[in-house]
Chain A
Amino acid sequence: MKLLVPALSEQPPSAARLEQGRWYDSRQLLLAASALSFFVLWQLAVLIVNSPYLPGPASVGRALVEALTQRDFIGFTMGQHVFSSLTRILYGYLLAVVIAVPLGLLAGWFKPLETLVSPWIEMTRPIPPLAWIPFAIVFFGSPFDAIFIVFLASYFPIFLNTTTGVKSVDSLLVDAARTLGARGFFLFWRVIVPASFGHISAGLRLGLGYAWMSIVAAEILGVKGGGLGIYLWTMHEVGRFDAVFAGMVIIGVLGLLLTRGVNFWRVAASAG
């Protein structure tokens, strides 16, 4: 028996509509204006401060071209630096994800486990990952010492967000699932985990950010194969601040691309 089909929920209104053609409605224009003002302010600051320790956009631009086209005196191309840092970040971060997500899910679900684990977490969390560097160098050696630091830096936000995610699953959904006969592992895997996904992905994003921040400092202590941290540190040592800023630009762009990439994957996964 066919019934009348009611209307679908409406599309959410878009803030980027160019309907009226107002210039401040255009997202593109606003972004361009923001970027332009950044460069203007930077150049202004350079003129005011007037010190080689604060290079201007032009010299940083030149250093950027040099970094991307030539081998530096450390013996690497920028491509090699980026590759080395990215692989270390990837290994450390993935290791953290693989351990922290399951552990976080279980700790959120089983209170006794959380109670068992929480003193360890609470005591190690405040320690800055960099404080572990001497320990890491002696016990792990290159390149695992840098990977270990990245692991430590990304572990805690992933674990804690996952646990919170589990604990904040809407009890109504759990009730519904149970009245449909879901129990035990099925309930955990098919309801708790998907319902926590929002928190988990927030933790994953945070963890990735921390991983990036820690890699530069972790590499300064010396790892084989170069790296962005090594590039930044060595360039600063010889006074090449234009190159230091160029390195920072590269890190910023890479970080942006990585976040965009993760977001894209997230959207694609949930739509599929």
Chain B
Amino acid sequence: MRTTTPDETSGLQVASLGVAFNGLEVLRDLTLRVERGEFVCIVGPTGCGKTTLLRVIAGLLRPSAGEVRIDGAPLNGPGHDRGLVFQEYALFPWLTVRQNIAFGLEARGAMTKAACARAVERFTEMVGLDGFEDYRPSQLSGGMKQRVAIARALANEPAIVLMDEPFGSLDSQSRCAMQAELLQVWGQTGQTIVFVTHSVEEAVYLGNRVIVLSARPGRILTEIPIALPHPRVRTSPDFNALRAEIMALF
């Protein structure tokens, strides 16, 4: 009787992924494994296909080559198990902040009204938007919209959280605060996080592995494990060494 190693098929498996649009190759032969509960950061030059990769994993895009499996099962379109924080926010303009954040919970209908309200309140507070629950997206600044997008995705408690430059519109103070919040949530829930950023510093601060993509057509240049304990110190020599190592690849 052959015993399969418990973690051989668990988690996210991307195998030889290829994506091309109208003859333009965006991703080529990309292979990646993310264990359950990992916090993985993806960095790379502009246009290297980071967003495309997230969309494929989210099930919004069919690859031209290769495949993606979750716990051994192939993908079948999008689902609430893979939440996506869009770079463009993608908030529903006819809904308030509160209603946007509650959207996934209502779609699944898994919670009572009271539990739903509590969850919404928790995540609204987490992203620092309490007091703005009844505002419409058109009344918010870019940074606030981004926070709603984050809260909306996290409130739905997906097994895998895909985040596409989620802190890009925030000022540095808010950014640091949000990074700390995210790490705290992750610590509590054990969700798998795939985090795309163009800030190497942010990648080193957050992830337990940093994956570096090449320029288009994107494929994995290298993967660098970050073994530093949390909370990390941005000024420490270890931190900066890792940073330098990664930046050298660009």
Contacts and interface: CB of A to CB of B under 8 A. Distances in A.
Q: Do chains A and B touch in the complex (CB under 8 A)?
A: yes
Interface of A: 1-9, 172-173, 175-183, 186-187, 190-191, 194-195, 197, 270
20 contacts: A1-B181, A6-B171, A6-B174, A173-B90, A173-B92, A176-B91, A178-B59, A178-B79, A179-B59, A179-B60, A179-B78, A179-B153, A180-B80, A180-B153, A180-B156, A181-B79, A182-B104, A186-B107, A190-B106, A194-B94
Nearest to A179: B84
A197 B174 CA distance: 35
B80 A179 contact: yes
Contact of B90 (A175, A181, A186, A194): A175
B180 interface: yes
B37 interface: no
B188 to A, nearest CB: 14
Given A6-B144, A9-B141, A180 B94 contact: no
A190 B103 CA distance: 9
A200 B174 CA distance: 40
Contacts of A186: 107
Interface string B153-173: 100100000000000000101
A176 B128 contact: no
A178 B173 CA distance: 32
Contact of B107 (A7, A177, A194): A177
B85 to A, nearest CB: 9
A181 B108 contact: yes
B106 to A, nearest CB: 8
Interface footprint category on B: 35 or more
Contacts of A187: 107
A187 B80 CA distance: 13
Contacts of B91: 176
Contact of B60 (A1, A178, A191, A194): A178
Interface string B39-60: 0000000000000000100111
B177 interface: yes
Given A1-B177, A180-B107, A197-B94, 8 more contacts: A3-B127, A3-B177, A178-B59, A179-B82, A179-B83, A180-B153, A180-B156, A191-B92
A182 B107 contact: yes
Contact of A180 (B59, B104, B140, B143): B104
A165 B152 CA distance: 26
A210 B86 CA distance: 42
B177 A8 contact: no
B94 A195 contact: yes
Nearest to B177: A3
B177 A181 contact: no
Contact of B104 (A9, A175, A181): A181
A107 B240 CA distance: 58
Contacts of A3: 127-128, 173-174, 177-178
A183 to B, nearest CB: 8
A177 B141 contact: no
Nearest to A270: B94
